[in-house]
Amino acid sequence: MAKVFIYPATSLILSDLVARFGHTPLSAAIQIRERIQTPGLDSPPLQITPEEPKKGLKYAAVEVPSGVRGRMSLYGPMIEEAEAAIIINDADYAFGCMGCARTNELIKFLVRSSDIPVLDLNYPKNEEEGEEFVAAIHAFLKRLEESR
């Protein structure tokens, strides 16, 4: 079972398919859950405190906006942990945790710079594309399993 970073990290489709085919999706929800279930200083809604953008300095310099650095404090550790990644490139309507384009550019860059297998896709716009989309993810994850 490999840890697979999914992009968008909020994707229902990728989360489902990765888990369905026997692997662990690394999604935004896991990071949010960790914060929501950890006692500390109250910082609703996400329990992301002003300390998180400072932690994000590991991934982006201080002149990078706080929202990028705060988001990176969620994603940076996940990317470091990931053994593979699946990226949907035309994810234009992923909001919230995935709502900042600059963060998303940095996430994709860090994923591609790390030495892990990456599957690049677009969303399936019709049923034929759906067949190839699912088959590609299935084959990618299978190869991952075989190479372990």
Q: Which of residues 99-128 bind another protein (CB under 8 A)?
A: 99-102, 120-127
* Residue 14, amino acid: L
Neighbour tally for 55: CB within 10 Å: 17
Cα gap 118→111, rounded to integer Å: 8
- How many residues of this chain bind another protein (CB under 8 A)? 80
Cα gap 148→133, rounded to integer Å: 23
Q: Which residues contact 36 (CB under 8 A, 6 or more apart)?
A: 46, 47
Is 53 an interacting residue with respect to another protein (CB under 8 A)?
Answer: yes
State the nearest-atom distance from the C-beta of 30 to another protein, in Å.
6
Is 143 an interacting residue with respect to another protein (CB under 8 A)?
Answer: no
Q: Which of 4, 71, 76, 78 binds another protein (CB under 8 A)?
A: 71
State the nearest-atom distance from the C-beta of 135 to another protein, in Å.
4
